[in-house]
């Protein structure tokens, strides 16, 4: 899909739609209720040009993301594949102006902040041998994640944001943001290190709508969580997301 940068051109108050001005004066329609955050007239945005569903329809802007410009000039957007708990999104937007990038890199940057009080609920918790665990695929993920039934999340004073630089567009994308300390990549992830396997053998996720579990593909056992780290490293490591 074609990518563009534009400016919100019309007031959005009490409306479910708006228009973006781009390409030196062209305007394109978008659904304001499908955006991840509030937008107002004059905001700079990044968006994709959607395909019309019929020959009679005009294209619309989809995946509209506000471009946040930090005091030091760094530009940030909420990532295209970002799925985030609503409470975490509100908190992320609140602290986004405070995020500082120390140096330019194309590697993922993990920012973990500790506060002086509990700020939310972590969906990754430690499990015990008595817990009822199952394995399921999250939406568009290639491999299984470890989940636990009938447990509540844990209060936490930490918030973690994962960011990566998009060198084609010249800004940073927020890939993930969640309440809780940094968690290692899952054992099958190509970015996994030796700490990933023991962590995910003793921790699991709390089922939540944000994970969009594939309910038709749930199982009680996944061999990836019982191999050694060396065996996992020797195996094939496809990308995290399905096409």
CA-CA distance, 15 to 31, in Å (whole number)? 9
Evaluate whether residue 171 is within a structural domain: yes
Asked if pLDDT for residue 115 goes beyond 80, the answer is yes
Please tell me the total count of domains within the chain: 1
What percent of the chain has pLDDT above 90? 44
Q: Is the CB of residue 104 less than 8 Å from the CB of residue 87? A: no
Write the pLDDT tens digit of every residue in 176-189: 999 999 999 998 88
Question: What sections of the chain are H helices per DSSP?
Answer: 86-95, 196-202, 229-234
Across 5-31, average pLDDT: 83
Q: Where is pLDDT greater, at 50 or 122? A: 122
Asked if pLDDT for residue 231 goes beyond 70, the answer is no
Lowest mean pLDDT among 12-16, 166-170, 195-199: 12-16
The pLDDT-based confidence of 243 (bands split at 50, 70, 90) is: very low
In this structure, what are the phi and psi dihedrals at residue 177, rounded to the nearest 5 degrees? -155, 135
Asked if pLDDT for residue 139 goes beyond 90, the answer is no
| Beta-strand pair 203-205/124-126 | antiparallel
Evaluate whether residue 239 is within a structural domain: no
Evaluate whether residue 94 is within a structural domain: yes
Evaluate whether residue 143 is within a structural domain: yes
pLDDT at residue number 235: 61
pLDDT at residue number 33: 78
Evaluate whether residue 50 is within a structural domain: no
Per the structure, the complete domain to which residue 88 belongs is given by: 67-234
The pLDDT-based confidence of 241 (bands split at 50, 70, 90) is: very low
Evaluate whether residue 31 is within a structural domain: no
Evaluate whether residue 20 is within a structural domain: no
Asked if pLDDT for residue 123 goes beyond 90, the answer is yes
For the entire predicted model, the pTM comes to: 0.84
pLDDT at residue number 136: 94
Evaluate whether residue 35 is within a structural domain: no
């Amino acid at each position: 899909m074609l990518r563009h940068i534009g400016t919100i051109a019309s007031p959005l108050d009490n409306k479910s739609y708006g228009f973006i001005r781009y390409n030196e004066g062209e305007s394109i329609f978008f659904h304001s209720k499908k955006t991840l955050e509030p937008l107002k007239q004059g905001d700079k945005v990044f968006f994709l040009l959607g395909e019309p569903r019929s020959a009679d329809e005009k294209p619309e802007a989809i995946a509209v993301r506000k471009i946040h410009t930090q005091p030091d000039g760094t530009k940030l957007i909420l990532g295209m594949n970002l799925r985030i708990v609503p409470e975490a999104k509100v908190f992320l937007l609140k602290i986004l102006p405070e995020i500082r990038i120390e140096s330019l890199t194309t590697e993922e940057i993990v920012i973990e902040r500790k506060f002086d009080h509990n700020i939310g609920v972590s969906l990754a918790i430690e499990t015990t041998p008595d817990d009822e665990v199952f394995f399921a695929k999250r939406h568009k993920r290639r491999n299984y994640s470890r989940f636990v039934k009938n447990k509540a999340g844990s209060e936490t004073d930490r918030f973690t944001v994962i960011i990566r630089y998009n060198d084609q567009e010249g800004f940073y994308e927020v890939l993930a943001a969640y309440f809780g300390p940094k968690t290692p990549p899952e054992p099958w992830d190509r970015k996994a290190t030796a700490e990933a396997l023991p962590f995910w053998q003793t921790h699991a996720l709390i089922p939540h709508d944000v994970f969009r579990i594939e309910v038709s593909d749930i199982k009680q056992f996944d061999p990836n969580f019982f191999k050694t780290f060396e065996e996992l490293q020797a195996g094939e490591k496809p990308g995290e997301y399905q096409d």
